[in-house]
Amino acid sequence: MKKRKIAILGATGSIGKNACQIIKENQDKFSLEFFLFNKNIKEAINILNVLKPKYFVTANKEVYEKYKRIYKNLLYIRDLEKIYQDLNIELTLSAIPGSEGIYPTYLACKYSNICAISNKESIVCAYEFLKKEKAKIILCDSEHTSLEELLKGEKKEEIEKLILTASGGPFWELSLEELKHVTFKDALKHPSWNMGPKITIDSASFMNKAFEIIEAALYFEIKNIDVFIHRKSFIHAIVKFIDKSYKFSVSIPDMKIVISYCLNYPNRLKLNLKSLEDLLPLDFKLEEKDLKRFKCLKFGFLGIKNLDDILFRTLLVLGDDLAIKKFAKGEITFLGIYNFIKNFIENNINKFQKPKNIPELLEIIKIIKEENNWEKTKN
């Protein structure tokens, strides 16, 4: 059986590590050809020793200079396009958090046959550009992967709306007054999912769900989208039809299910995980969203209204990136995230022309990052 040649962008993060574990358990099906990481050299070397890719690539200059003589197959991110040109990659999993994932994801779409994108920012900022490239794009997260399966064989004119579910994060039970005092450390304690720090904070603020609304509108070309709260995270997505019937996608909250499906797309992999039957009785309670306590969710619906405005969507992503950095440093409060992003967009929306291609988009991002003394992520 021919092995599928895989590349992973962001291999030392939460999604990447899960993907590496799946590849390790299915080495008859997959071959990891190369992976990209930032600073976590210890985890990178572990992946190198276990999965033996041809190359591993760092986005961090200090790491590259320190280890390039020890590991002859360690390359720097400037070599990423050449690596793609040299290797026949069938599928890339893009899992770099934040706006730093946009350029690597673009290269993945340019040279891979399939690009499974977990990096929401790439879709929100650049979907129009990415979909023009070679790769078939699939979305690697529980909601959109579920929606894609639910919509198979359905007629678009018979769909009334798409419904994304949200766990509510760690603060769903708190009052508006209590939310004034939550800390960055508090926000990292997600009740259902084990994820990287950025997406965990975005989940707590509901910014993650706002991005998912925009992603769904772009990817499925459907603008009627709603959000329900499902605390147990068993229900991942719902499709409502014009005859008032519904289709639900249900599974335990484990990203290995989504990642394995994407790596082996369009076929499933057998996984040794808990079943819902093991967890009976199950609570499938759905609750209404709350836009007063969790204002960041408003950006998702605003994003649908501005769906054709790439600049607006890009500023939304960058504003959130910067807000999280400031929240981590204690420079703004949890409730201050919304106002910071809102002001950030208003202060920058008239400074730039709408980007017409990836280079123009990346130049805008570069300028904004230089103006705000950007720091890179840790993985």
What residues pair up with 114 in beta bridges, in sequence order? 91, 136
- Beta carbons within 8 Å of 152's beta carbon, 6+ residues apart: none
CB contact at 8 A, 5 and 33: yes
User: Can you give the residue ranges of every domain in the chain?
Assistant: 4-140, 144-252+276-307, 310-379
Q: Which of 3.40.50.300, 3.40.50.720, 3.30.70.100, 3.40.50.1970 would CATH assign to domain 4-140?
A: 3.40.50.720
Per-residue pLDDT of the chain (379 residues; tens, 9 = 90+): 789 999 999 999 989 999 999 999 999 999 999 999 999 999 999 999 999 999 999 999 999 999 999 999 999 999 999 999 999 999 999 999 888 899 999 999 999 999 999 999 999 999 999 999 999 999 999 999 999 999 999 999 999 999 999 999 889 999 999 999 999 888 887 655 555 677 788 889 999 999 999 999 999 999 999 999 999 999 999 999 999 999 999 999 999 999 999 999 999 999 999 899 988 898 899 999 999 999 999 999 999 999 999 999 999 999 999 999 999 999 999 999 999 999 999 999 999 999 999 999 999 999 999 988 776 544 4
